[in-house]
Chain A
Amino acid sequence: MTVGSEPADLVSRQKYFGWITRLSAAQRGVLIAMLIFATMFIVYGWKQAVGLSPNMINTAANKGALLALVAMAQTLPVITRGLDLSVGATFVLANCLASTIVVGGPVATTFGVLGVLLLGLACGAVNGLIIVYGRLQPLIATLATSAVYFGLALAIRPQPGGLVNFELADFMTRSTLAVPHTVLLLLAVVLFIWIPYRRSVLGRATFAIGSSEQAAYMSGVPINRAKMLAYTLSGLLASIGGILLTALTYSGAAKITIANEYTLNSIGAVVIGGTSLFGGVGSAVGSIFGAFVMRTVGDLLIVFDINPVLQPLFVGVVLLVAVSLGSLRVLRIKNRLDIYR
């Protein structure tokens, strides 16, 4: 029966592939970022002469986790249709402070870590206060605060140097049974910060604000508190990244190039991870994979014997391609008026 076979075919197709259409835009973004990363990493492992050793995976995870934390920090403001250009500076400031106070015995180290996290929260809260209650544009406000934070980082550490508690640093960057501890750290951040945030009233409110602040306001969404929370948590995540950087380098350095590089790459990672720069859609999990994609670009350059000084060029090209792919919707728009806002 040829008539009946077509619906049956459709049913079976829906049975097997229907889940793709049931995914939300953010989940699709995460999935795509995962696939890109998996492909790139397999190519990397295959081209690598020595193959994938646990040691190599650990190094790759450590490098990727640094950017992943900063990218997660960037994700929260972007979801509210904002932006945080100070994540890189907060990251560097946390690095400089951690290289000063995360030292000594276990008690002193614990208080040091808490101090750095508090500093991150404070940086984020200042951004939030200026943007929410000062009503300044996020772009300009965070550009200005990034100058302030970087200035403070320079005051703490005029010359690169410092120390960090060796046991803590070693524990953070080691791997157990081929599972890098930094991956566990990312997992913990997702489980204990991102998912509770995503499911809380204020967390959900940030998505509503990103879609339409006007509509969110009309529906009684607590706009101010939700935005404050987004920026404050962003500072916290960036400072966790700063502590990890200290653990990896055993020192602190106030370099504007590091701050700028991480801010730029974090935006790239967020875009690759499927978060919309127009707000309302996104996931910190996607940003983690986006960050690993950005980092693997550098590794691929090395195995394919391309001059590593070309890394900024390739990172830039990846960024441009990612943004342009996102713009392909222009081709699907039937009414040209919808292109213009």
Chain B
Amino acid sequence: MSVSGVIARQFDRATLIAFACVIVLLLIGAMVEPAFLSPKYLIQQLHTASFLGVVASGVMLVILLGHIDLSIPWTIGVGGMMATGATGFLGPEWGVTLAVPFGVLCGALIGMVNGLGVAYLRAPAMIFTLGMNAVAQGLMVYHTGGFAPQDRATEFMRELAVGHFIPGIPNPLLIWIVLGAAIVFMLNRSVLGRRIYAVGNQERSVFLSGVDTRKVILACFIFSGSCAALTGVLLAGWANRSYQAMGDPYLLPTIAAIILGGTNVLGGRGKYVGTIAGVILITILQSMLSVVQPQRYFAQLGVDIPADTFRQVVFGVVIIGMLLIYGRQQLVR
């Protein structure tokens, strides 16, 4: 197949609609505020989007399998808090050097427990990961409750989150680009990628073809945990410190971004380019709401409504609205 054919195959209907929505949103924004189309603003948006993009990369693989990972909020928390608190476990010297790998490793461990439960115990992913989320939360509350842990980000984490390794491209964006390229390659050109799609379509057939599907599931959950923890590390560097509920605002946007990008919730279908489109769409939407500030308009009418109301309501309505356009299931016949 020609190169253009390979590229064209990555763009399905959902991806195109999502990208079209991004452009429409930007144009509407530009009418209100011309600065919306400046390269500085766009790069800044991509910088914000890359945090969501990294965590969505991992969760997408799990959703492609037909499972789901609801443990991401506190896996992000674990990633951030373990990276900043690494000195408490590894000593002052190694704790600074190995802070980032240590945080990601802790996330991978959570992912591994999820994977073992889902793949080997055959527990429903939704409830098992929800339980792991509570366990991770409990462990982190214990971690901060027992003694005052180090919550400052190291110099390297700070550099990772706000620095520019390549001039003009923020480091998190660079990480997302590299990670994304690797995933696109893996999904389209490797045995593992083929197996992920196949398991999402019918695990039984894959098992009968002689593949140990449990290892595929385990690998995807470990990857999802690692990605979430990496996001936690980046967020901790970005805010210069880690805090308990740092992952809480990420559950709904992550799943929404993946689903809006056309990935089937039941697994087996979805392109990574779609997830990129979904992540950018969600980020622009959030940014628009904070710029446009509809609550001011309502305050003029004498109705005091908190800004968070609009964020939540618009979010929910947009997700349902977009899915009604292209995410409907087959009728039972």
Contact = CB atoms under 8 A, between A and B. Distances in A.
Interface stretch (A8-16, A64-72, A322-330): A322-330
A268 interface: yes
Helix, strand, loop or mixed for chain B's interface? helix
Given A136-B328, A324-B123, A147 B306 contact: no
Nearest to A131: B329
Contacts of A134: 320, 323-324, 328
A207 B124 CA distance: 19
Interface in A148-178: 148, 150-152, 154-155, 158
A320 B128 contact: yes
Given A148-B313, A151-B312, A320-B117, A135 B132 contact: no
A136 B204 contact: no
B319 A144 contact: yes
B304 A158 contact: yes
B208 interface: yes
B52 interface: no
Given A140-B259, A223-B332, A264 B134 contact: yes
A319 interface: yes
A139 B256 contact: no
A319 B127 contact: yes
Contact of A337 (B207, B315, B329): B207
Interface in B66-101: 68
Contact of A217 (B135, B311, B332): B332
Interface in A198-239: 213-214, 217, 223
Contacts of A214: 332
Interface residues of A, number: 54
A162 B232 CA distance: 37
B313 A130 contact: no
B208 A151 contact: no
A25 interface: no
A316 B133 contact: yes
A148 B329 CA distance: 22
A324 B128 CA distance: 8
A277 interface: yes
Interface stretch (B1-9, B26-34, B139-147): B139-147
A320 B135 contact: yes
A340 interface: yes
A145 interface: yes
Nearest to A141: B320
A33 interface: no
Contacts of B207: 336-337, 340
B113 to A, nearest CB: 9
Given A136-B328, A324-B121, A267 B255 contact: no
B309 interface: yes
Contacts of A327: 117, 121-123
B261 to A, nearest CB: 13
A316 B142 CA distance: 14
7 contacts: A143-B252, A147-B316, A264-B134, A267-B127, A319-B127, A319-B134, A330-B122
Interface of A: 83, 130, 134-137, 139-141, 143-148, 150-152, 154-155, 158, 213-214, 217, 223, 256, 264, 267-268, 271, 277-278, 307, 309-317, 319-320, 323-324, 326-327, 330, 336-337, 339-341
The 4 closest A-B CB pairs, nearest first, are A313-B138, A316-B134, A151-B312, A316-B135
Given A158-B306, A315-B134, 8 more contacts: A137-B329, A143-B252, A144-B252, A147-B315, A314-B138, A317-B131, A319-B130, A330-B121
